[in-house]
Amino acid sequence: MHRLRTCAARLRPLTASQTVQSASQTRPAAAGAPRTFQHIRCYTAPVAAEPFLNGTSSNYVEEMYFAWLENPKSVHKSWNIFFRNANAGAPPGTAYQSPPPLGASLSGLSQAQALMGAQPNVEKLVEDHLAVQSLIRAYQVRGHSIAKLDPLGISCVNFDDAAVTLGLKDVDLALFNNRLIELTTGGFYGLDESDLDKVFRLPTTTFIGGSESALPLREIIRRLEMAYCQHIGVEFMFINDLDQCQWIRQKFEKPGVMQFSLEEKRTLLARMVRSTRFEEFLQRKWSSEKRFGLEGSESLIPAMKTIIDKSSEAGVESVIMGMPHRGRLNVLANVIRKELEQIFCQFDSKLEAADEGSGDVKYHLGMYHRRINRVTERDITLSLMANPSHLEAVDPVVQGKTKAEQFYCGDTEGNRVMSLLLHGDAAFAGQGIVYETFHLSDLPSYTTHGTIHVVVNNQIGFTTDPRMARSSPYPTDVARVVNAPIFHVNADDPEAVMYVCNVAAEWRATFHKDVVVDLVSYRRNGHNEMDEPMFTQPLMYKQIKKQKPVLQKYAEKLIAEGVVTRQEYEEEIAKYDKICEEAHARSKDEKILHIKHWLDSPWPGFFTLDGQPKSMSCPSTGLTEEELSHIGKVASSVPVEDFTIHGGLTRVLKGRATMVQNRTVDWALGEYMAFGSLLKEGIHVRLSGQDVERGTFSHRHHVLHDQHVDKKICIPMNHVAPNQAPYTVCNSSLSEYGVLGFELGFAMASPNALILWEAQFGDFNNTAQCIIDQFISPGQAKWVRQNGIVLLLPHGMEGMGPEHSSARPERFLQMCNDDPDVFPTIPEDFAVHQLYDANWIVVNCSTPANFFHVLRRQILLPFRKPLIVFTPKSLLRLPEARSSFDDMISGTHFQRIILDQGPVSQNPSGVKRVVFCTGKVYYELVRERKNRGMEDSVAIIRIEQLSPFPFDLVKAETDKYAQADLVWCQEEHKNQGYYDYVKPRIRTTIARSRPVWYAGRGPAAAPATGNKKAHLLELERFLDTAFTLDAFDGHS
Ligand SMILES: Cc1ncc(C[n+]2csc(CCOP(=O)(O)OP(=O)(O)O)c2C)c(N)n1
Ligand SMILES: [Mg+2]
């Protein structure tokens, strides 16, 4: 609902800058020349000084100029002389010469040229042609803004104005005549009524002529009105590719493009019947249940089906979909074809849940279905991703899964797998994740080669109308940033909807770029079936009440056209109603809901047939000595010829080689060993995030760059073994929400891949909070779907200030599902059982070897869980923080806790204190203990796997040091870090027999101080507390 503007004003001539800008974007290059604006500007004379050259005329002149460049005879002599003079450097104002008299050689000219030539005044002739050209262009650029897109006819109404007439006067002829009057008397183009019957030559940038190259002005306007101002509004002139613009013009301008066979119309009607009657059925049976009905936007169903049919025709075998609440049940029933009884039974409040976990409401569940496409007779797999309530959050997840499916089936151009995203108008405009996802669409490691977006634009979001919901004219403007064409369509015209959906699918198949269909519709009821919309949108809803349902309108049209009889139509309705009734009867037999049956990403072969892990053990994650040294060698080499790396990097690689010789690894090498060995075992590894290729801390260097040749790179990790799996390492866009969502989706496609997302610094994970809170932590509980994604979150208090310090372990730990108050029973393979029951795994490794093991364990486990790793910064280069091959060879495994193997372990009864800690602070504690000579009296134990908590191992240690007091030491502030998680669990372990004291920074609002001195002082203080044996005397 935007402010009222006069229609013709929107078609006023473009300004000079608009014209120049779009000309630069769309003009073809002369033969052999690069397509840049520079070429157009190669006149040596300052042509802008010519009196007849202005913003309005320049695109016409350019048209002439290009024609002249190709063949000087193809333009009028006057232009030939002008361009020759201009190119020869004629001073301003002198390049133009009056043309030689016309008339002598008329025989070779077309009829139109003859007509033009018959006019005495060449200047007027040029001006009129310029005007017509501008007019055509104005329709192409702005026609959409006066198209009849809104079924309610209120989109250009200002409700603040006193008298408003709702509804478009649907008299095409009158509208057309009005437009002619407005255009010719508005003085916009210098054309008047007398010009309407003059014939004008059509530029090459329009297809309205069909086989004609010239048309009378009246017909030009009529055809432009037909192409751009009916029920379809096309926004595309911002696209900076001429071929793409021409392709779209041709699709919408060619006379008679929108024609359908009788069969197509009947199918369309049948689809409208299903879509409409499904909602009506639910309304009849469960009138007070929330279902977020599709009423008012029913043509969404044929829209999606058309896209799927057309894409299947082009070779697509798998469509991965993401969508919000609106019409979701309808999509499940009529697009994916989920059995109706499975949908209906969910309305039964007595239905029991069969699976563990929370489950989810019916309009969030996902689905996966393979079937034959009835139109193309080809197999097609349709999956709808489960999603949370958080609108648009699923967008990047869908893209990631699509990318993965493309990757695993070698579909490098997106010909076989595609994504289809649905959006609400308010969410599409309002949610930043939409923008982040669009910006992934053309990045080599993230592109899915074109997504079709369909916006269910019901012109309202809950109770907020667009005047308050966005600052852009359309909800779809965000798509313009990636040059995606936008097809607005009046959803009350199902044929127009079907047409644009066909074009959208063809667009994707042709250009492999995103495209948006904006389904302009309305919402017949409130936001959900319980809401009263008249509270907040009284005028809009008065109009909606008058609105005839689209099915009824379309059926009447087809009956009038003789495409179907009324009886056939009624039979179609009865047939579908019967299907619903029968399914409803069957649904009563469904007593149990199996969320498993709503899985969007099954992993066939990974589990047993009833979805259980094939074993409950994890083999050793170690490697043979030979494997370790082989991968170490690859990591220290440049495995290609003629490749010059940076001198500094040569030193890094040499350092690695020395480490390998000494049988040690640092953090980067430990990671290399894990990735390299998995690749060798056929496991795809994908590491994504900001600057991950080099590594934020310049420690990784997985991509080597030739110092002399641009874009010449080498990825040694892809040279580990002849038949290895491919390694993907990719610097991402500067996004967390979008990229983490993407990787999560990627990890859904296959259990046989290690997918890692690294935050630049751990604290940046909070801009991806929604993915963490809504998908990663509860994903399995809500949707019985496992995921093995790994989050690498650099973390550590290193005097760098409040930012860049904390990855916020407290938040991850707070979301862990293990019980702090119950000491578990410890079966054999407790460690694996515990992992199986966990919602995710949280670790803070203090050694490269343990990091290596935990990464390999991700894949060697018989199930998948998300893994959160707090990774170090200063430890990356700390000599003490290196590991020996001995800790990584066959038979070794991940250590959930690392015991103190120093003097304390020889004489546990002499130990006065046990300090439990995790991560980097261990090294500070060890240094301090040494300085104080307390190696006999204080044991330091590292808890490497924080969650699930290693109750069994901690118990062994507390039993061993039965006389010692227990301290938890952390460098984080008291209300942050691990303390609140660890303390109750240690207390449970020791049956609350001893206190667990705290040594660390005090509570604080910010994660760290910005003052280096204060930082060191704090460190000194808490280390002092940790080693002062009477520090807690008198405390209770
Ligand atoms: C991120 C987020 N914020 C707020 C909400 C609450 N909410 C649910 S539906 C809705 C309105 C959505 O409007 P629109 O996108 O136009 O979809 P429609 O319901 O009109 O189909 C809102 C605000 C939500 N689900 N997600
Ligand atoms: Mg809406």
pLDDT of 696-747, one tens digit each?
999 999 999 999 999 999 999 999 999 999 999 999 999 999 999 999 999 9
Closest ligand 1 atom number to CA of residue 423: 15
Q: List the one residue out of 780, 676, 671 whose CA is nearest residue 719.
A: 676
Whether the Cβ atoms of residue 140 and residue 228 lie closer than 8 Å to each other: yes
- CB 456 near ligand 1, within 6 Å: yes
Q: List the one residue out of 23, 24, 82, 75 whose CA is nearest residue 49.
A: 82
Examine residue 948 and say whether the peptide bond preceding it is cis (omega within 30 degrees of 0).
yes
Whether the predicted pLDDT of 842 surpasses 70: yes
CB atoms < 10 A from the CB of 434, how many? 24
- CB 391 near ligand 1, within 6 Å: yes
- CB 459 near ligand 1, within 6 Å: no
- CB 425 near ligand 1, within 6 Å: yes
- Say which range, 2-11, 56-65, 669-678, has the weakest mean pLDDT: 2-11
Q: In the numeric block, which tokens belong to residue 196?
A: 């309407």
Parallel, antiparallel, or unpaired: how do β-strands 883-884 and 938-943 relate?
A: unpaired
Closest ligand 1 atom number to CA of residue 475: 16
Q: Whose CA is nearest to atom 9 of ligand 1?
A: 462
Whether the predicted pLDDT of 599 surpasses 90: no
Q: What is the rounded distance in angstroms from the CA atom of residue 965 to the CA atom of residue 1029?
A: 9
Q: What is the rounded distance in angstroms from the CA atom of residue 318 to the CA atom of residue 371?
A: 10
Per-residue pLDDT tens digits for 631-643: 999 999 999 999 9
Ligand at minimal distance from the CA of 427 is 1
897 φ, ψ (degrees, to nearest 5) = -130, 155
What pLDDT does residue 22 have? 39
- CB 519 near ligand 1, within 6 Å: no
Residues in the chain: 1036
> What is residue 775's DSSP assignment?
I
Which CATH number applies to 625-795+844-887?
3.40.50.12470
Q: What is the rounded distance in angstroms from the CA atom of residue 195 to the CA atom of residue 732?
A: 56
What pLDDT does residue 36 have? 26
Bridge partners (DSSP) listed for residue 380 = 371
- The three-state secondary structure class of 818 is coil
- CB 393 near ligand 1, within 6 Å: no
Q: How confident is the model at residue 165 (pLDDT cuts 50, 70, 90)?
A: very low
- CB 521 near ligand 1, within 6 Å: no
Amino acid at 242: L
Whether the predicted pLDDT of 795 surpasses 90: yes
Ligand at minimal distance from the CA of 324 is 1
Q: How confident is the model at residue 596 (pLDDT cuts 50, 70, 90)?
A: confident
* Pocket residue to mutate for ligand 1, from 391, 433, 474, most atoms within 8 A of Cβ: 391
Q: Number of helices (H) and strands (E) in the chain: give both, helices first.
A: 36, 28
Ligand at minimal distance from the CA of 290 is 1
What pLDDT does residue 314 have? 97
Q: What percent of the chain has pLDDT over 70?
A: 88
Q: Which residue has the higher pLDDT, 186 or 864?
A: 864
Q: What is the rounded distance in angstroms from the CA atom of residue 714 to the CA atom of residue 716?
A: 6
Whether the Cβ atoms of residue 103 and residue 119 lie closer than 8 Å to each other: no
Between helices 494-511 and 242-253, what is the axis angle to 10°? 150
Whether the predicted pLDDT of 242 surpasses 90: yes
Q: List the one residue out of 949, 650, 607 whose CA is nearest residue 784.
A: 607
Ligand at minimal distance from the CA of 300 is 1
Whether the predicted pLDDT of 27 surpasses 70: no
Q: What is the rounded distance in angstroms from the CA atom of residue 857 to the CA atom of residue 500?
A: 49
Q: How confident is the model at residue 1016 (pLDDT cuts 50, 70, 90)?
A: very high
Q: Whose CA is nearest to atom 15 of ligand 1?
A: 424
Whether the predicted pLDDT of 173 surpasses 80: no
* Pocket residue to mutate for ligand 1, from 395, 453, 462, most atoms within 8 A of Cβ: 462
370 φ, ψ (degrees, to nearest 5) = -110, 130
Q: List the one residue out of 610, 615, 986 whose CA is nearest residue 832.
A: 615
Which top CATH class is 262-598?
A: alpha beta
C-alpha 529 – ligand 1 centre gap (Å): 15
- CB 424 near ligand 1, within 6 Å: yes
Whether the Cβ atoms of residue 422 and residue 322 lie closer than 8 Å to each other: yes
Whether the Cβ atoms of residue 384 and residue 366 lie closer than 8 Å to each other: yes
Per-residue pLDDT tens digits for 680-707: 999 999 999 999 999 999 999 999 999 9
> Domain boundaries in the chain?
62-87, 122-253, 262-598, 625-795+844-887, 904-1027
Q: What percent of the chain has pLDDT over 90?
A: 76
C-alpha 526 – ligand 1 centre gap (Å): 13
Closest ligand 1 atom number to CA of residue 326: 21
Q: What is the rounded distance in angstroms from the CA atom of residue 572 to the CA atom of residue 568?
A: 6
* 904-1027: CATH topology: Rossmann fold (3.40.50)
- The helix (run of H) or strand (run of E) holding residue 175 is helix 172-185
Per-state percent for the chain, helix, strand, coil, to nearest 5: 45, 15, 45
> Which position has the token pair 């910005």?
1010
Q: How confident is the model at residue 31 (pLDDT cuts 50, 70, 90)?
A: very low
Q: What is the rounded distance in angstroms from the CA atom of residue 48 to the CA atom of residue 39?
A: 15
Q: List the one residue out of 157, 147, 135, 266 whose CA is nearest residue 206.
A: 135
> Which position has the token pair 């649905």?
422
What pLDDT does residue 58 have? 56
Whether the Cβ atoms of residue 985 and residue 822 lie closer than 8 Å to each other: no
